[in-house]
Amino acid sequence: MTTSPPGEQSPACPRCRTVNVPDALYCEGCGHDLTDGSGVPAASSIPTPSRPEETDEVPAARAQGPAGQDGASTGQDGASTGQPEWVAEIWVDPDWYAVQNSADPMPAPGRTEVVALRQPSLLVGRASRHLGVHPDIDCEADSGVSRRQAQLSRDGGRWFVEDLRSANGTYLAADGAPLPRDPIAPGRRVEVGPGDRLYLGAWTRMVIRPAAPGEVDPVARDGAAG
């Protein structure tokens, strides 16, 4: 800030109060005209910083969002996979058959059957056109399975089974545990943990697990079919 020589009065800017040299025409601090004699300028004459005009337009990058996030379910490569999230894997279990005392002959154990579980609630049983029963998971070959054997239901990533008062009961055992001796209580949902085994009828064993990529093909039985 410039100071005045001794003995001379230095005018102070009426706008910003900066002390200027005698006979200064403009304020060194803010550029105000010191010769107009008007003192502090009116508020309307004071320039104000301009603000960008506000619009309702959203920038294109923000409107589109990150690539691949258009509401569709996509895989890591950005393409929709359509892969079922869960499957039921079904076996003919000779050990279970051995303790059931069934009069029906057991089928020869073959390859496991994989059923895609695309619904949050599925009926397990045996189909009957006469009774109007169309289970989502049809255990038709095992006559020890009731027409309406059990209900599977999903809550997020957790699965539950409920016995529907079946004739021979629904059994549940942890992975690696001995064959179960007591059925689950009818009419109550019981959680099916990872690797747990469901035992039904005379020889049916079932495991619910996440589907492996490419595991379910068009010829496999689909749990979404009614």
On whether the pTM is more than 0.75, the answer is: no
Tokens of 29: 């601090």
Under 8 Å between Cβ of 216 and 112: no
Under 8 Å between Cβ of 27 and 10: no
Query: Mind spelling out the 3-state secondary structure of the chain?
Result: CCCCCCCCCCCECCCCCCECCCCCCECCCCCCECCCCCCCCCHHHCCCCCCCCCCCCCCHHHHHCCCCCCCCCCCCCCCCCCCCCEEEEEEECHHHHHCCCCCCCCCCCCCCEEEEECCCEEEEECCECCCCECCCEECCCCCCCCCEEEEEEEECCEEEEEECCCCCCCEEECCCCCCCCCCCCCCCEEEECCCCEEEECCCEEEEEEECCCCCCCCCCCECCCC
Give per-residue pLDDT as tens, 84-137: 589 999 999 999 999 999 999 999 998 889 999 999 999 999 999 999 999 999
Give per-residue pLDDT as tens, 34-77: 776 655 444 444 444 445 444 444 444 333 333 333 333 344 44
Which domains are assigned to the chain? 1-44 (no CATH), 86-210 (2.60.200.20)
> What is the arrangement of strands in the sheet containing 137-138, beginning at the earlier edge strand?
137-138, 121-125, 148-155, 158-163, 189-192
CA atoms within 13 A on the CB side of 213: 3
Give per-residue pLDDT as tens, 169-211: 999 999 999 999 999 999 999 999 999 999 999 999 999 999 9
